[in-house]
Amino acid sequence: MESTFYYELRSGAQKNWLLLDLVRNRFGRLRSPDRSSAGDSLKSAKAATSFLWLPSCVSGEILEIFFGMAAIYSLYIINKSGGLIYYKDYGSAGRMDTNDSLRVASLWHSMHAISQQLSPVSGCSGIELLQADTFDLHCFQSLTGTKFFVVCEPGAQHMESLLKFVYELYTDYVLKNPFYEMEMPIRCELFDINLTQAVQKDRVAFLGR
Amino acid sequence: MAPVAPRSGDAIFANVERVNAELFTLTYGAIVRQLLTDLEEVEEVNKQLDQMGYNIGIRLVDEFLAKSNVSRCVDFRETTDVIAKVGFKMFLGVTASVTNWDADGTCCSIVLEDNPLVDFVELPDTCQGLYYCNILSGVIRGALDMVSMKTEVTWIRDVLRGDDVFELQVKLLKQVPEEYPYKDDE
């Protein structure tokens, strides 16, 4: 472990080892003076970063890889007919190729629709949260039928407000772009930039807890 | 997470970025003028303005929903109320009122006393058939279309034609049920 930086985000989480490799590959030798002092809970996230011996220019990116991006695995936007119009993954966990992401999108669209019909209460607006052993899926559907969902680590907080914010970004930087065609895949740079910032901001909130 | 309380039109209006009203008014005037030059027929211009408004409306509705936090309206009455009180305030900075409901609650009038689009406008004799603000009716139609309400929006009164206020009649034609499949097999 001499040449590596280890921080266990959640006990037993395999993905951290993957991230570890990612960082090691990207930045070469990084060292932590004392592995044990990194702690094993979220609470010490701040402490864990503060003692790290790192050039300040790279620490931001490492933080992003380790903390912010670890909380959110991927983000999807699907249009009202179930087509995937935006997909972005963060970090190495849960990464998917294009076909798989399209499949997830249409699968989720159908499941969402079925859940509305199966629901015992009337006026159900579909699944909002799917909890699995290794991930949580938070979904937000706008009244116009566009669905936004994030796949994140189990127990990640504040995802509803993040999705709400992504919706606002979508209205600002996608729908207001005169060259964006409705219901088509989103290729808007401004949206990408602002989305990345939003996810980073989420990271800051995450560190602050 | 507790549902977020709907925001008032004033609150949103205070928070969004705004442009100079004159720039807005003059830009709109230039568009209408150009359309008149290009299309020559007043009727065609009305149609085109309506179509432009529709295209704006189908995109604008999402911004409205995202920023106002309004939840699903229970009936058409509430919908028009929200348009008049929150929608107009948020995007035009004016408040409208809703009147003249018919018996079965599917047709009403939105009355605008103040309309920034017409600040400097006088209709010449050659353009008497022009609905100068027809873009607004298109916006409403487009926005409601996206939340599954087919409507017909027409101008009843127009200050530019000598009336005292602007009056838009909104008529609910049909409410498309939001159920799957969306007529896939047709």
CA-based nearest residue in chain B for residue A175: B59
* Mean pLDDT, residues B160-180: 86
Extract the tokens encoding A200: 């980073």
Which of B4, B59, B71, B72 is best to mutate for the A interface (most A CBs within 10 A)? B59
Dist. CA B14–CA A153, nearest whole Å: 37
Give me the pLDDT at residue A52, please. 39
Domains of chain A, residue spans:
15-70, 73-208
For chain A, give the DSSP string. Answer: -TT-----SSTT-THHHHHHHHHHHHH---B-S-GGGG-SSGGGHHHHHHS-B--HHHHHHHHIIIIIHHHEEEEEEE-TTS-EEEEEE-SSTT---HHHHHHHHHHHHHHHHHHHHH-SSTT-----EEE-SS-EEEEEE-TTS-EEEEEE-TT---HHHHHHHHHHHIIIIIIT-TTPPTTSPP--HHHHHHHHHHHHHHHHHHHH-
Give me the pLDDT at residue A72, please. 87
* Mean pLDDT, residues A147-170: 91
Give me the pLDDT at residue B29, please. 94
Shortest distance between the Cα of B147 and any Cα of chain A, in A, equals 5
Q: Indicate whether A209 pLDDT > 80.
A: no
- Terminal Cα distance for chain B, rounded: 40
DSSP annotation of B26 reads H
- The domains located in chain B, with CATH, are 42-175 (3.30.1380.20)
Report chain B's mean pLDDT, rounded to a whole number: 89
* A97 band by pLDDT with thresholds 50, 70 and 90: confident
Give me the pLDDT at residue B180, please. 59
CA-based nearest residue in chain A for residue B16: A172
Q: Indicate whether A144 pLDDT > 50.
A: yes
Chain centre to alpha carbon of residue A12: 20
CA-based nearest residue in chain B for residue A129: B1
Which residues, other chains included, contact A161 with Cβ-Cβ below 8 Å and sequence gap of 6+?
B1
Q: Does any CB of chain A come closer than 8 Å to the CB of residue B67? A: yes
Strand order in the sheet with A72-78: A84-89, A72-78, A147-152, A136-141, A129-131
Q: Does any CB of chain A come closer than 8 Å to the CB of residue B59? A: yes
* Residue type for position A36: S
Give me the pLDDT at residue A204, please. 59
Bigger pLDDT: A51 vs B178 = B178
Q: Pick from A158, A171, A182: which is nearest to B63 by CB?
A: A171
* Mean pLDDT, residues A161-186: 93
Task: Give burial (CB, 10 Å; 0-12/13-18/19+) of B47.
Answer: middle
Q: Does any CB of chain B come closer than 8 Å to the CB of residue A134? A: no
Answer for the pair A90, A65: CB distance below 8 angstroms, yes or no. no
Chain centre to alpha carbon of residue A112: 20
Chain-chain contact of A171 with B67 (C-beta, under 8 angstroms):
yes
Q: Indicate whether A70 pLDDT > 50.
A: yes
Chain-chain contact of B4 with A81 (C-beta, under 8 angstroms):
no
Shortest distance between the Cα of A26 and any Cα of chain B, in A, equals 38
CA-based nearest residue in chain B for residue A171: B63
Q: Using one digit for the tens of pLDDT, what is the confidence trace for B101-116?
A: 998 889 999 999 889 9
Give me the pLDDT at residue A50, please. 38
**Chain B residues within 8 A of A146 when measuring between CB atoms:** 62
Answer for the pair A136, A156: CB distance below 8 angstroms, yes or no. yes
* A3 band by pLDDT with thresholds 50, 70 and 90: very low
Q: Indicate whether A25 pLDDT > 50.
A: no
Q: Pick from B4, B147, B180: which is nearest to A144 by CB?
A: B147
Give me the pLDDT at residue A156, please. 86
Q: Indicate whether B71 pLDDT > 90.
A: no
Q: Centre a 10 Å sphere on the Cβ of residue A178 and count the other Cβ atoms it contains.
A: 8
| Complex prediction ipTM | 0.86
Among A29-43, A165-179, B154-168, the least confident range: A29-43
Fold category of A73-208 in CATH:
Beta-Lactamase (3.30.450)
* Residue type for position A192: D
Q: Indicate whether A69 pLDDT > 50.
A: no
Kindly report the backbone phi and psi dihedral angles of residue A168, in degrees, each rounded to the nearest multiple of 5, phi listed first: -65, -40
Percent pLDDT > 90 in chain B is 63
Dist. CA A138–CA A127, nearest whole Å: 8
* A61 band by pLDDT with thresholds 50, 70 and 90: very low
Shortest distance between the Cα of B2 and any Cα of chain A, in A, equals 10
Which residues, other chains included, contact B183 with Cβ-Cβ below 8 Å and sequence gap of 6+?
none
The sign one gets for the Cα dihedral A80, B68, B99, B24 is negative
Q: Does any CB of chain B come closer than 8 Å to the CB of residue A145? A: yes
Q: Which residue has the tokens 């004159």?
A: B22
Q: Indicate whether A103 pLDDT > 80.
A: yes
Bigger pLDDT: A96 vs A69 = A96
B residues 134-153 lying closer than 8 A (beta carbon) to A? 146-147
Q: Indicate whether B150 pLDDT > 90.
A: yes
DSSP annotation of B180 reads S
Length of chain B: 186
Q: Find which of A47-51, A68-72, A196-200, B65-69 is predicted with most confidence, using mean pLDDT.
A: B65-69
Percent pLDDT > 70 in chain A is 61
Report chain A's mean pLDDT, rounded to a whole number: 72
User: For chain B, what percentages of helix, strand and coil (3-state, to nearest 5) are there?
Assistant: 50, 15, 35
